[in-house]
Chain A
Amino acid sequence: MAKILMKGNEAIGEAAIKAGCLHFFGYPITPQNELPEYLSKRLPQVGGRYIQTESEVATSNMIFGAAGVGVRVMTSSSSPGISLMSEGLSYLAGADLPVVIVNMMRAGPGLAGILPAQSDYAHATRGTAHGDFHLLVLAPSSVQEAVDLTMLSFELAEKYRMPVMLLGDGMIGQMMEPVSFPETEVGPPMQADDWALTGCRGREPRLVSSLFLDPVELNAKNHERFARYAVVAQNETRYETFNCDEPYDILITAFGVMSRVCKSAIVALKEQGVHVGMFRPITVQPFPSAALSEAIGKARRVLDVEMNMGQMLVDVQLAAKGRVEVDFLGKCGGLTPSIEDVVEAVYDSLTKAEGGG
């Protein structure tokens, strides 16, 4: 299919339809409004339904109901709205329901700002809500990748029966880039015949629940879920490396749009004779620790660059296993480290690697 120029938020909406998602529930919040607006127009055209909710609390429970009756469903929001969905995310994970949640991150904490940020990495990957569970979290760095990962999100959510989050750093939603979509008009419906609540005609009644008062049963349930997470980590961990084929002194780690700034800095540094590689996790949960660990093993020092105060930094430090130091460059509040900022930080790291710091 020919490429068309599209805003990230709208492209994600179209990708959802291509993936066969015909139901969307959401509450307005900047900077993701173009996504629900696009779907409010498009979904009725393809026989789907758009429902504007009274709150993100309600949203997260509406998608619980939608997924529970075996229907492919999506919502989107941004940082403060995702906080309000936390309760629902825990129940969705506890009931093993497949849903896709888009978080177009803005600056935090509190109401903070509406400009792009990577402020919710920790919330998405670890501290999502109460209880033992993970989301599967995908972090795109371009509009095309957002489209591809949106479609993949539904596939993975249903394959592993878990909520999947598309973690975009604000800019992904707002910028326009050329994208192409599969030829399919609307994907096939979700297959959930063996567990969904569709009325008990011809079978025993079913239950969708996260309540297990028997400790032995709950313990077993959580162990089963984490065994599934281990399979996800084994099969679905995704990452990209840049300029890592040749020897490098410094390894940059970055995710989402930040990685593109870092790539430009690496190209500029190469012209100055400085060898820098980059490692970009695409799945930030599960985190590609083993591959990153291997890449760090070839570096003298690591520079982690994020649009926050250092949230992925912890995962990078764990992968470094104390072998090398990990420096950090971060800006937040809606600011993005520039190419010049990254270049300067790489020189700082080099100086420290050579014993100057």
Chain B
Amino acid sequence: MRKIFSHTEGMITEPMHYCPGCTHGIIHRLVAETLIELDIRERAVGISPVGCSVFTYKYFRCDMFQASHGRAPAVATGAKRCRPELIVFCYQGDGDLAAIGTSEIIHAANRGEKITCIFVNNAIYGMTGGQMAPTTIPGQRTSTTPGGRNVADDGFPLKMSEILAQLQTPGYVARVSMHSPAEIIRAKQIVKKAFEYQVRNTCFSFVEFLSTCPTNWGLSPVESLNWMKNNMLPYYPLGEHKVPEPGKGGTE
């Protein structure tokens, strides 16, 4: 019998702690496959955040840091500046990157750190039990917005890709979604491209994943994918929001 799908060497065969229907597992796999396909696993250093993906270090088969809340891009900066030969990537959720770590991600991007940031946006704090995130969409009910996010009190959700894309410093910024197999295949291509920019020492790279939280959204996995498609995609447009301009910065 011909094997058509198997475990990727980029991941450790540890049972994951993620809730059923959560797309973290798929995103992990896309990153791990990329480490193998680009042959960079043995010089990769990943940084796990605080939040649902705090245990990321248990799943990637490469050297890993566990960082404090929101500071992964600062840890990555320290690692990459001191050992530029390493491939350094951050894996962060929306509370980690877009609330407590806003300063670190903006300044790492603005310095043009040659690192790759994987940003998982599921519009809620998962680990702590479903509180409002900086990316919770208007009207969305959470445990701390029982009446739905009221933009008069809480402001509008942060569009991190758009914020980073407007920086003058060259960089690669893209938003992808996990709501269909076609989008997952598209996401894989973009993740690979993001890492390739680092391998070629071109620029900072950032991939935002729209993801689900069936547990805290109170929906089934399938309903969650539909809810994401119908409610998040209109607010968070997919695609490449910024590509490094040839001849302007970087070494391409």
Q: How many A-B residue pairs have CB under 8 A?
A: 129
Q: Are B82 and A61 in touch, CB under 8 angstroms?
A: no
Q: Do A55 and B103 contact each other (CB < 8 Å), given the known contacts A25-B78, A200-B41, A205-B61?
A: yes
Q: Which chain B residues numbered 130 to 178 have a C-beta less than 8 Å away from chain A?
A: none
CB distance from B72 to the nearest CB of A (A): 8
Contact with B along A40-69 (1 / 0, CB 8 A): 000000000101011101110111111111
Total chain A interface residues with beta-carbon distance under 8 A: 39
Contact with A along B65-99 (1 / 0, CB 8 A): 11110010011111111110110000000000000
The CA of A296 and the CA of B4, in the complex, are separated in Å by 79
B61 (CB) vs chain A CBs: closest residue: A205
Instruction: From the candidates A62, A95, A211, name the one contacting B77 in the complex (CB within 8 A).
Output: A62
Chain A residues packing against B (C-beta within 8 Å): 23, 25, 49, 51, 53-55, 57-59, 61-71, 73, 87-88, 91, 95, 197-202, 205-211
Q: Do A64 and B75 contact each other (CB < 8 Å), given the known contacts A197-B45, A197-B64?
A: yes
State whether the Cβ of B42 lies closer than 8 Å to any Cβ in chain A: yes
Total chain B interface residues with beta-carbon distance under 8 A: 35
Chain B residues packing against A (C-beta within 8 Å): 12, 41-45, 47, 54, 57, 60-68, 71, 74-83, 85-86, 103-104, 107, 111
Q: Do A65 and B103 contact each other (CB < 8 Å), given the known contacts A51-B81, A71-B83?
A: no
The CA of A256 and the CA of B63, in the complex, are separated in Å by 41
Q: Do A205 and B64 contact each other (CB < 8 Å), given the known contacts A58-B107, A198-B83, A200-B42?
A: yes
Q: Are B57 and A209 in touch, CB under 8 angstroms?
A: yes
Instruction: From the candidates B57, B71, B74, B77, name the one contacting A207 in the complex (CB within 8 A).
Output: B57
23 contacts between A and B (CB under 8 A): A23-B81, A53-B107, A58-B107, A61-B104, A62-B75, A62-B77, A62-B78, A63-B78, A64-B68, A68-B79, A69-B82, A69-B83, A69-B86, A71-B82, A87-B68, A199-B42, A199-B85, A200-B42, A205-B12, A208-B65, A208-B66, A209-B57, A211-B66
Among the interface residues A67, A71, A198, which one has the most CB atoms of the partner chain B within 10 A? A198
The CA of A209 and the CA of B66, in the complex, are separated in Å by 5
